[in-house]
Amino acid sequence: GESVGLHLPTLSVQEGDNSIINCAYSNSASDYFIWYKQESGKGPQFIIDIRSNMDKRQGQRVTVLLNKTVKHLSLQIAATQPGDSAVYFCAENRGSARQLTFGSGTQLTVLP
Amino acid sequence: ETGVTQTPRHLVMGMTNKKSLKCEQHLGHNAMYWYKQSAKKPLELMFVYSLEERVENNSVPSRFSPECPNSSHLFLHLHTLQPEDSALYLCASSRRDRGSDTQYFGPGTRLTVL
């Protein structure tokens, strides 16, 4: 079946370093992708999104890259801070269905 | 705060109880969603209410019953639940007619079924 998945379930980085969280998707019809951050005890929080007609989008300290050739999405966090520790999900929107399909998440831990 | 509130935040119930979860959105959105989040599993879409239309995941048991009286309020009625229904239940909302479907989530209700 088609799915959204994450390459690594956990990622540990030193404070101040850059983080890269990866996501693979298999549905070439998906036209919209979102990254969410979920801190312990809270609901998922929107971080950044990107449409399939783009390959890069930047926000504040975050960049999302989309490679449609290999169906790969990544989230880059610059100068990672302790407050960035959370689970990060990617989600895809499969066109006419207009419903999001979520990956299982990557736990990011920022080390002092 | 995302503009989506959920009550209660925590709920413990027995298998014979009846309870309801409430969600309210203050974002002017026209679609609302219920998700189930279990440990180490992707978010599972349960129900969607969009422009007064209801869409449901056919795998959701009938012991879960949604109600959407208007575009700002969403309920999930629970009855005769099973221990495996223990999970975090998340509500979300979005604006579906603006070309993007970014969903904004509430904090969730942590449900424990004894």
Q: Which of A22, A87, A84 is nearest to B39 (CA)?
A: A87
Q: What is the pLDDT of residue B79?
A: 93
Which pLDDT score, from 0 to 100, does residue A3 have? 46
Residue B89: pLDDT over 90: yes
State the burial class of residue A22 (Cβ atoms within 10 Å of its Cβ: 0-12, 13-18, 19+).
middle
Confidence (pLDDT) at A41: 85
The span from the CA of A59 to the CA of A61, in Å, is 6
Q: Which residue of A has its CA nearest to B10?
A: A41
pLDDT in tens, A39-74: 988 999 999 999 999 999 999 999 999 999 999 999
- Is the Cβ–Cβ distance between A92 and A52 less than 8 Å? no
Q: Which amino acid, one-letter code, is at B37?
A: Q
**Would the CB atoms of B105 and A41 count as touching at under 8 Å?**
no
Q: How confident is the model at residue B41 (pLDDT cuts 50, 70, 90)?
A: confident
Q: How far is B68 from chain A (nearest CA, A)?
A: 18
The percentage of residues in chain A with a pLDDT greater than 90, rounded to a whole number, is 68
What is the percent of chain B with per-residue pLDDT over 90, rounded to a whole number?
Answer: 68
More confident residue, B81 or A5: B81
Q: Taking a C-beta distance cutoff of 8 angstroms, is the pair B4, B21 a contact?
A: no
pLDDT band at A81 (very low <50, low <70, confident <90, very high): very high
CA distance A53 to A8: 26
Identify from A50, A98, A106 which residue to disrupt to test chain B contact, counting B C-beta atoms within 10 A and taking the largest count.
Answer: A98
Among A88-97, B11-20, B53-62, B77-86, name the one with the lowest average pLDDT.
A88-97
Q: What is the pLDDT of residue B57?
A: 80
